[in-house]
Every structure is written in C-alpha cells, then in structure tokens.
Chain A
Amino acid sequence: MLSPFRSFVRSPRLGRLIATHSSVNPDEISHFSNLSAHWWDEHGEFEFLHKMNPVRMTFVRQKLLEAARDDGTDPNPAQVLANLDVLDVGCGGGLLSESLARLGANTLGIDASEKNIGIARQHASTDPRLAPTSPHSSLMYQHTTAEALLEQPKQFDVVCSMEVLEHVDNPASFLSTCAELVKPGGHLFLSTISRTPLAYFLTIFMAQDVLRKVSPGTHTYSKYIKPSELIQFFETYRPPTPPAPVPSLRESVTLADSLTSSARPWITRHSDTYLPRTQVDVRGLIYNPVFGNWHLAPKDAWGSLECNYIFWVRKPKEIDS
C-alpha cells in the first residue's frame, strides 16, 4: 500500500546513468527526497512498510527453504539465508537489508539516492550486529543503480527489489537488469502493486487522498504492474545476448521476438491454470485494517492478487538451459 520510492539525488555520476538506463525516474525522486529522515520512524510515513517487512521476509525464507528442499538439501530453517550473496535493489533506509543481514546473508543494499544510503548506513552503525566496524557484520551499502552493477561480473544468489517496480520508468529493462544480476539457480524476489481498480482505490485514493497515510504523489496508477504481466515476462524472457532495445512491458508482452537467446525461459508452463511450483510463485500481501497488520494470502486465494503482492521466480540452473 505504501511504496516509497528510493529517492534520488541529482549527482553527476548518476545523471549519466539515467541517460543510458531509463529505469530511474528523476521526477519520482524529487518527491521522495524529503522523506528519507522518516525511514526508521515506525509510526510515521513508513509504518506500513515496517509492518510489511516481516511478511516479506517470511515469504523469502519460505521460498528459499522450499527450493533447497527441491534441490535435495535439508537446511536449518533458521539459517536458509546464511552466507548467501544477496542484493537489495532500492534498499531505501535499509529495512529489508538489515533483516537479510541479521539472518546471515552477505547483503549489499543499493539505492539511487545518496541520502537514503546515508540514512541506511547511519542506522546500521547504531546496531552492534550490523555496524561496519563489527567483525560479524555482513551488511554493505552502496550508492549506485542496478544497471551500474551490471558492469561488474558479480552475480547474486538472491536479488530482491521490494516496492520499487511501480516507480521505475521502463519496467522491462529494470526486470532484465535484475534478472541478469541473479546467479544461475538463484532467486529473484519482487514486491509491488497490481494495476486494478481495487489497488487504485486503496493505494491512491484511500492512502494518499483520503487518509493521507502516504504523501500524495507517492504512487502513479499507470505504473502499476499486474502479476500476470510479470509471469508473462518471465515466460518469454531470455538473457539478451547483445543488449537489445527492450519494448515497454505494459504495451507488449511479445518480448521473445526482441530477446534472442537459446536458454530456456525462467517459467515454462504446461498448464494454463497452474504455475510450475519450482519456478515461480506469487502471493497477495493483505493488509488487515482492524489489526493494522499484513499477512501473506494463502496460495491461490481468490482476489488476493488485486493489490499488493510478492513475486518469486527462480533462474534456471545452467544444466537446465
């Protein structure tokens, strides 16, 4: 419901990045740049996000545990994230990154906003478990974009980008960037808002205009993406061998034509009704206004994907391709 974009500060270095990679939107950014001081106020602007975080973490852990079991290993459920390389794209104040790092993941949080990275670093420094001075710390922050990271060879076991997709300008390009940052056999987690009348009503009309829980201008309806669009993207997505111009996700889903690769797509469906369990999952994130908390909707619950949802997709292992 509340999806503050990681605000952006006009820096010369990133200016160049925007020119070449159009997923970061400078307008989105000026709106959020004043909010970063509130990231860690659990009762403020980001309260919903604080409350949503444990639910997102539950989903992440659950999927990693299932995948490990599918691979025939039996990890300690408390340690599924231990020692994995995890990237948090659009980490904001570090809500998710801190949780990932506490569970032992080698976490890199990146954000296009220098201010956010400053807040995130400052907050982590007060926590002896996470402070960069601590010998146990496995948390790093970097002021950069996902696109810029592609220039390095490093890939990650897990890439997360929570509540970011609805704020980027070219989601297809953003998605393929994230996808490329994932190791073969690794995982991509996204949470965002669907483009439905209900989502409009709750996240824009109620949250922004009526209740003023979220600053007006936080969300733009036309930028919302439906779960079916994400699924279709990964049914056709193949790593672009030469970086090809990517069509807009919202206009067209015939990406296969423009992306040429021999690898199998991330999602190979044999049925129209069921998603292949080992490749993809999508679950609604439901807010209960009475208790003021979030929960993960049961699998395939009717209508549960009408608003906030979380999406997991697994990159094929090399042998699969």
Chain B
Amino acid sequence: MLACRRLARPAFSRIRSLSTTTEGALTHENCDVVVVGGGPVGLALAGALSSSRVVGDNLRIALVEAGDLDKIRAWQLPSEKYSNRVSSLTNTSYAFLNDIGAWSYVQHERTCPVEHMDVWDGISDARISFDAAEIGTVSQNEGMARLTENLNLQRGLLHLLEKAPGVDLIHRTKVTSVTRESEGHGAWPIVNLDNGRRLRARLLVGADGFNSPVRAYAQIPSFGWSYDTQGVVATLIHRPRSAYEGPNTTAYQRFLPTGPIAFLPLSPTVSSLVWSTRPHIAQTLQGCDPSVLACMINAAFRLPQVSLQYLYNRISEAQATSTPLTPQQVQEEILWRETSHGIDRHSAMSASAAMGDAPIGIPPVNSELVPPLVTSIQAGSIASFPLRFNHTESYLGEGAGARTVLVGDAAHTIHPLAGQGLNLGLGDVEALAKCIENAILQGSDVGSYTALQPYARERYLTNHTIMAAIDKLHKLYTTDFEPVVWARSTGLEVVNELDSLKAAIMMTAGADGGKSGITAGWDMVTKGVETLDSAVKVARAVGGGIGGIVGTGVQTLIQRVSERTRA
C-alpha cells in the first residue's frame, strides 16, 4: 500500500534500523534528515550526503517527492531528441557533481560544452563575445559551462543513489502538512505524508521549489516580485554549422527590450531556447504554429526591435480573428521588414533564408555572429514558465520553525538570463552537505541552528550578490530609452576592455572564475552596471540642461527611466 520505493540497504543497521515511536495513537518514524523535493537540488543533496562516509555512518536520511522518480530513472530519449528543460552547469557545479561521484552517471554525450559566448544589445547592437580559452582557469575542452538536460542530471543522481544507498526515497508521495511535535525549544517537526507515514525529522530540508511548503511551515518570510515576464522554452532543430563556422558550441543571447532571448547549443543540429518576454507576447508565440515560432526565433536574433514589435502585433491580431498567419505569410512579412531595413536576403542577418534552400559553400560573412537558422521545433517541446525574483530572509527556520533549512529554488529564484538558478542551488547543496558533515564530526545535533549557521553564512551573501547583479542586468537591458541604451553601449565597450569584468560575465555564462573570486566577480558586474547607471545620470543632467528649453516632459521621462533602471 505504501507508494514508496526503498532503495536503502541497511548498511549500517545500528543506526538505520527504523526506530518507530508511538505518540498517542499515531506512530512516527525517526529520521535524521528529511529532504522534501526530488528536483535536481533535492536529489543532489541526497547524493552528496550519501557519498559521505561520515554521514552514512551517522544519519538516517529520507527524501520525499510528489512526482514519479521511477519515470526519471528510466528516462530515455533517442539521441537526436532533447528535453526542453536545460541548464548550463558551471565548472564549479560540474566539479562538485564529479566529487560526489554523480557525474559519471550523467550521460556525457547528451551534454554540450559552451566554448564561446556572444551577448549583444538588441537596440545598440553593442556586443561582447569571448571564449573559454580566454580564461586561464578553464581546463581544455571543458568549455566555460556545460549544457545539461535537467532530467539527464536527475537520472544520474538517482543512479548514484542506487549505487550508494542509504537514502530512503519516498516518491509519488506528497507532503500534506508539517506539524510541530511540541512547544519546547528546538522541537522536532513531524512531516505528514499523503500515504499516512509520519516522519519525525531532526533536520527538515526544503528543496521543494518556489512554492516551498517547508518554507511556509518554518514561517520564513521572503521578498521578491514577478518580472511580468514568461520564459518560453523549446528544443530547436537547425542545420549543422558549416566547416567554415566551427562546431555548434556557441551560446547566443540577445537583449531585447522585452527580455533576453538565448540560444543554447546541445548538439550540432539541436539547441535549446530560453526566450524571456512579456506575458502577452509569450502567449502569442506559444499560440502560433511551431514553424511560425521557428521563423520568429530567427527574426528575434536578427531584426530590429521595431519590426519584431510589428510582427508580434500582426500575429496576435490574426490569432484574435481566428485567421492565424501561415508560416509562408510570416516569412513574407519578415522578408518585407528586412527589405525595408536594407537587410540583404543572403546575408547572415536575414531570417528569411530559413525556409529556403540549404546553404551551399561558403557561409555569408559574419554568420558566426548569430545562431544558425532554426528550421523546426521538436514536437511537444514548447513550454513557458513565469519568471520571478525571490529571496528568503533567512535559510534557517527559528523558534516555531526550528530544525528547518532551505536550499535551491525554495530559498531563491532568479531570472534565467544568466543561467544561474540551478548552479546557486548546487552551491547550496555543496555547502550544506559540508556543514552537516562538520557538525557530525563535532558531535553536534545536525538539526540545531548553531550547527547549520555556517551553511547560511557561507551561502546567503554569495547568493544575494549574484542575484542582485543579475537583477540589475535584467533591469538595465529591458529598456529601450535612448540615454540608457547609449550608456549601455559605451558600458559594453568599457566592459570589453576589462578582463576582470569579462571574467565575471563569463561566470554569468557559467565559467568558474575560481571559487573565491565568484562574488568579487559578481560585485564587479554590479559595479559595471552602476557605472552605466551613472552614465544615465549624466544623461539626466543633460536632460536637465535641455529642460529649460524643451520643457519638463523630457526631464520627467529621463528621470522615470533612470529610476526604473536603478530600482
């Protein structure tokens, strides 16, 4: 009757022997660590803990997941098909996964190194591009990050847990509530499952994502906002790069005023899309025929903003009247817009070539500045997620919420523009596992606030710095107000000169700048953004000068934008 699959072989039966206690009419099972959530972060924590001998000898661990982990364990796709949930893992995350022995269970051929990155501003066209070789710390052929399907990682972690048992995996089971066993200091939480089991937890870990029920139990407040943006994801199919262009290992990201669009390589002919945009545009895009979406993706990497806006409106109006545009009609619209912008049909900047013949011979000049033209979209791979910024006030529960700790998205959610969400979560896991191990060696109660404090201390500020930098970048780039764009482009020019800042931005893409340098790097991103911000202030001062002549209208406008940028 129990929908539970127990992988744990009682290797250390002295401790792991199930201790069941009766409290009134209800029985509960004592656990040292209960992890709620079998997403990539929860599974990585279970994996890290199970790979430590000290932890294995001392703690009884259970993981509860609502979904079906058997399905993930058996997950298999033909080699040319890819899941739409892809994360770029930094070299730090990669090293950690390697250390705990998980990486050897990740199907390596399905991952792809990012060797180059091209980031440009959709308004000013100012561009930074750099490659992995520029950073000394990156080892050969590793790239600055590795694009990995979340499912590939989760499956690998599940296989690790099979090989290094010790974690009681309770899946297809929901946590229905968490209650407190008594009123005293440091009372243990009781985790109530929908299959009737009750787990009494020395330490309760919330790896349960953005809507974390553990966070709610622990009454940990969080602050944040919705970006009023959806992240549209899809698996893209395209032609291979020609021999002249090199392999498909370049990640592209174009900052549009509606949000960035990213192209993340997975194989020579497949890449992953993360297109952050306004909800109504996302809705329009998701509502079109997949081949129309393919055309729009090609256009979004190439056409000026004004034309993109026109195309969104065209498609949306057609949808509203139930006469959706055909792919041919959209191609014609794009071609027409290109002609009006003076874009040569045969140049790299033309999106309309997509539906035409396969390119022959030498590719057009500068073809490496834009991603390959998308020819189709993998069936069923289009989805979207609301994007938000959220950070809890603390990672540790106190008082009535004692013995709780948060990791991953339960603790923080960020905009995916820098591909850092999961990496932050894996950083949490590494720190927490280390903290738990140290606490065991000191004979501490691993559920106590004192034992967990080093984890919170190590992660909170680091995460906060990175999150603030990403948030500022997002705000800076989602405006098309001219002084800001101008500041942005000069800023990017400056960026190009500064190796250290470049290193920081490479970490944005997922490279490892050396662990200790990470926050320093991100601080620099923030400072860089602040430099641009002061450029905006200059613009505002100029605006003030103009004010006397043109009137206060311009001034107000500038002020509004610069405030928005700083907010």
Q: Quote the shortest CB–CB distance from A302 to chain B (angstroms).
A: 27
Determine if A54 and B188 form an interchain contact, defined as CB atoms under 8 angstroms apart.
Answer: no
Q: Are A43 and B54 in contact (CB under 8 A)?
A: no
B167-201: CB near A (< 8 Å → 1, else 0) gives 00000000000000000111110000000000000
A40's partner among B57, B185, B398 (CB-CB below 8 A) is B185
Query: Which residues of chain B come closer than 8 Å to A54, judged between CB atoms?
Result: 439, 442, 444, 450-451
Bound together, the chains give a CA A317 to CA B19 distance in angstroms of 42
Q: Which of A43-57 contact B (CB under 8 A)?
A: 43-44, 50-51, 53-54, 57
What residues on A are CB-neighbors of B439 within 8 Å? 54
Q: A51-B450, A54-B450, A128-B19 are in contact. Are A40 and B184 (CB under 8 A)?
A: yes
B445, A98: Cβ atoms closer than 8 Å? yes
Please encode chain B, from 186 to 223, with 1 for each CB lying within 8 Å of some chain A CB and 0 for all others: 11100000000000001000000000000000000000
Q: Are B450 and A126 in contact (CB under 8 A)?
A: no
B457 on interface, CB distance cutoff 8 Å: yes
Q: Give CA–CA (A78, B443) in the complex, Å.
A: 10
Closest residue on chain A to residue B58 by CB atoms: A102
Q: Which of B14, B21, B185, B188 contacts A136 (CB 8 A)?
A: B14
Q: How long is the Cα–Cα vector from A33 to B514 in the complex, in angstroms? A: 52
Cross-chain contact A43 with B398 (CB below 8 angstroms): yes
Distance in Å from the Cβ of A76 to the closest Cβ of chain B? 10
| Contacting residues, chain B, for A77 (C-beta < 8 A) | 441
Task: Tell me, in angstroms, the Cα distance from A101 to B451 when the chains sit together.
Answer: 16
Judged by a CB distance under 8 angstroms, whether B453 is at the interface is: yes
B277 in contact (CB, < 8 A): no
**Cβ-defined contact, A40 with B186, below 8 A:** yes
B350 close to chain A: CB less than 8 A: no
* Complex: chain A residue closest to B182, CB-CB: A126
- Chain A residues closer than 8 Å to B457, beta-carbon distance: 291
Given known contacts A42-B185, A42-B186, A128-B30, A78 and B450 CB-to-CB distance under 8 angstroms: no
Q: In the complex the two chains form, is A42's CB within 8 Å of B450's CB?
A: yes
Shortest distance in angstroms between A53's beta carbon and chain B's nearest beta carbon? 7
CB <8 Å contact, A100 and B443: yes
The size class of the interface chain A forms with chain B is: 20 to 34
Q: Which of A130-189 contact B (CB under 8 A)?
A: 134, 136
Within 8 Å of chain B (Cβ to Cβ): is A61? yes
CA distance A98 to B450 in the complex (A): 14
CA of A199 to CA of B491, assembled, Å: 54
Provide the residues of chain A in CB contact with B443, threshold 8 Å: 57, 81, 98-103
Q: How far is the CA of A9 from the CA of B185 in the complex (A)?
A: 23
Instruction: Name the residue on B nearest A49 (C-beta).
Output: B450
Cα of A40 to Cα of B15 in the assembled complex, Å: 24
B82 within 8 A of partner (CB): no
Whether B449 is near chain A, meaning CB under 8 Å from some CB there, is yes
B54 touches A58 (CB 8 A): no
Interface residue? A318 (CB, 8 A): no
Q: Which residues on A sit within 8 Å (CB–CB) of B445?
A: 98, 102, 127
In the complex, chain B residues whose CB is within 8 Å of the CB of A101: 443
- The answer to whether A78 and B54 touch across the interface, beta carbons within 8 angstroms, is yes
What's the nearest-Cβ distance from chain B to residue A139, in Å? 11
Scan B438-466; emit 1 where CB is below 8 A from any A CB, else 0: 01111111001111010001000000000
Q: Within the assembled complex, what's the spacing in Å between the Cα atoms of A304 and B244? A: 66
Give the complex CA separation of A103 and B19 in angstroms: 19
Q: Please, how many angstroms separate the alpha-carbon atoms of A251 and B18 in the complex?
A: 57
Q: Which residues 407-466 in B have Cβ within 8 Å of A in the complex?
A: 439-445, 448-451, 453, 457
Establish whether residues A78 and B57, one from each chain, have CB atoms under 8 Å apart when the complex forms.
yes
A30 proximal to B (CB < 8 A): no
The reply to whether the CB of A220 lies closer than 8 angstroms to some CB of chain B is: no
A134-B19, A293-B453 given; A42·B442 CB < 8 A = no
Asked if A58 and B19 make an inter-chain contact with CB atoms under 8 angstroms apart, the answer reads no
Nearest CB in chain A: distance from B24 CB, A: 16
Whether, in the assembled complex, A272 has its beta carbon less than 8 Å from a beta carbon of chain B, the answer is no
Chain B residue at smallest Cβ distance from A293: B453
Q: Say yes or no: is A257 at the interface (Cβ < 8 Å to chain B).
A: no
Are B184 and A58 within 8 A (Cβ)?
A: no
Within 8 A of A (CB), among B226-272: none
Could you say which of A41, A57, A128 contacts B185, with CB atoms under 8 Å apart?
Answer: A41
Chain B positions within 8 Å of A103 at CB level: 443
Best-surrounded residue of B21, B186, B439 (most CB of chain A within 10 A):
B186
Interface string of B450-487 (1 = CB under 8 A from A): 11010001000000000000000000000000000000
| Smallest beta-carbon distance A100→chain B, Å | 6
User: 0/1 per residue, A13-42, Cβ < 8 Å to B?
Assistant: 000000000000000000000000000111
Question: In the bound complex, what is the Cα–Cα distance between A43 and B448 (angstroms)?
Answer: 11
| Complex CA distance for A304 and B439, rounded to whole angstroms | 25
Q: Tell me the bound Cα distance from A291 to B54 in angstroms.
A: 27
CA distance A203 to B453 in the complex (A): 24
Measured CA separation A304–B316 after assembly (Å): 72
CB closest chain-A residue, reference B454: A293
Closest beta carbon of chain B to A212's beta carbon, Å:
20
Q: Are B453 and A99 in contact, with the CB atoms below 8 A?
A: no
Can you name 17 extra interface pairs (CB under 8 A) apart from A42-B449, A43-B398, A291-B457? A40-B185, A42-B450, A43-B449, A54-B439, A54-B442, A61-B442, A78-B54, A78-B57, A99-B444, A102-B58, A102-B440, A102-B443, A102-B444, A127-B445, A128-B21, A129-B15, A136-B14
A sample of 20 cross-chain residue pairs with beta-carbon separation below 8 angstroms, ordered by A number, consists of: A42-B448, A42-B449, A43-B398, A50-B450, A53-B442, A53-B444, A54-B442, A57-B443, A77-B441, A78-B440, A98-B445, A99-B442, A99-B443, A99-B444, A102-B444, A103-B443, A126-B188, A127-B202, A129-B15, A293-B453
Chain B positions within 8 Å of A, measured between CB atoms, are 14-15, 19, 21, 30, 54, 57-58, 184-188, 202, 398-399, 439-445, 448-451, 453, 457
Residues of A within 8 A of B (CB): 40-44, 50-51, 53-54, 57-58, 61, 77-78, 81, 98-103, 126-129, 134, 136, 291, 293
